[in-house]
Amino acid sequence: MVVLYISLIIVILDQLTKFLVKGGTIPLLNLHVQGMDYGSSINVFGDFFKITFVENPGLAFGIDVNETSKLFLSLFSLAASIGILYYIYKSKEQKLIVRIALAFILGGAVGNLIDRMFYGVFYGYAPVFYGKVVDFFNADFFDFTIFGRTYDRFPIFNIADSSVTVGVILLILFHKSVEEKKEISVEANSVVVEGETNPELPSENNNQEMMIDGEDSNRKKDKD
């Protein structure tokens, strides 16, 4: 499906930017990228927006989890990605904007799933499914508290996180309107069906009976 190209582009951009930030070596391509030192920042728009290299070992917003939960989180992300892919395949008749939203969510989910599944092995610090997600977008918005933790800056995120957020927002904005249009269409079809089956409307048989009655009346008049 065409919308899956959106997911593929998101995954490629996400992994490329993470590789540039974290660095590493790909012997097959004879490629080596130095990357950034952990915790270091590059100012983009002063102190408001920076590129800051950190790694997230757990959930969103930097919430850490134990080793068992990390495995569960990775497996859940894998199952969710497969589920979203299947739903995109089955929802061919859905409105395009809804399928695009799902493609954004799928791309973001797969992007972070690659980190969790393979980064530990690729960088040599953990087995499969126990990797850490690379984050680097650092934006200063406003202070807020979530899950009992107070943040003076927005939690550092990446392209995959942004993609999931955009996809969810699109679903919230447009999925309801699609359902409402379906309900209106169903109601309109019901009205049409009721009109076709309404016994008060003249049917073809009734028209034929009226014509026969008219012919009989004319014959009687001719005899008289």
The pLDDT score that the predictor gives to residue 142 is 73
Given a contact cutoff of 8 angstroms between Cβ atoms, the answer to whether 53 and 22 are in contact is yes
CA angle 82, 87, 92 (to 5 degrees): 135
Judge if 164 and 195 occupy the same domain: no
Give tens-digit pLDDT for 140-197. Answer: 877 777 667 776 778 899 999 999 999 999 999 987 655 555 555 555 555 555 555 5
In a domain, 179, yes or no: no
Q: Which of 115, 140, 161, 216 is catalytic?
A: 161
Domain boundary among 136, 152, 174: 174
Domain boundary among 149, 174, 199: 174
Least confident of 64-68, 116-120, 157-161: 64-68
CA distances from 8 to 12, 79, 97, 136, 138 (A): 6, 18, 17, 21, 24
* Confidence category of residue 67, pLDDT binned at 50, 70, 90: confident
Q: Does residue 180 form part of some domain?
A: no
Q: Which of 135, 140, 222, 224 is catalytic?
A: 135
Does position 62 have pLDDT exceeding 90, yes or no? no
111 and 37 share one domain: yes
* Residue 94 lies inside a defined structural domain of this protein: yes
Same domain? For 190 and 159 the reply is no
Q: Specify whether 40 is located in the same domain as 141.
A: yes
- Please indicate, yes or no, whether residues 24 and 123 belong to a single structural domain of this protein: yes
- Give the per-residue pLDDT at 31: 93
Count the domains in the chain: 2
Domain enclosing residue 198, as ranges = 186-223
**64 carries an active-site annotation:** no
Residue 110 and residue 158 in one domain = yes
- 167 and 191 together in one domain: no
Active site residue 135: yes
| pTM, 2 dp | 0.76
- 212/122 same-domain check: no
One domain, residues 198 and 145 = no
Is the model more confident about 78 or about 29?
Answer: 78
Residues 138 and 212 in one domain: no
Is the pLDDT at 112 greater than 70? The verdict is yes
Say how far apart CA 215 and CA 224 lie, in whole Å: 15
| Alpha carbon distances (Å) from 43 to 35, 39, 183 | 16, 13, 50
Q: For 37-87, list the strands marked E by DSSP.
A: 41-45, 49-56
Cα 20 to Cα 23, 34, 48: the distances in Å are: 5, 8, 22
Query: Are both 38 and 143 inside the same structural domain?
Result: yes
- 141 and 212 both lie in a single domain: no
Output 125-134 pairs: Cβ under 8 A, ≥24 positions apart. 129/70, 129/71, 129/74, 129/75, 130/67, 130/70, 130/71, 130/74, 132/55, 132/56, 132/57, 133/55, 133/56, 133/57, 133/158, 133/160, 134/18, 134/21, 134/22, 134/53, 134/54, 134/55, 134/56, 134/158
Q: Tell me what the mean pLDDT of segment 39-45 comes to.
A: 95
> Helices marked H in 144-203 — which ranges?
159-196
Residue 217 lies in a domain: yes
- Does 181 reside within a domain? no
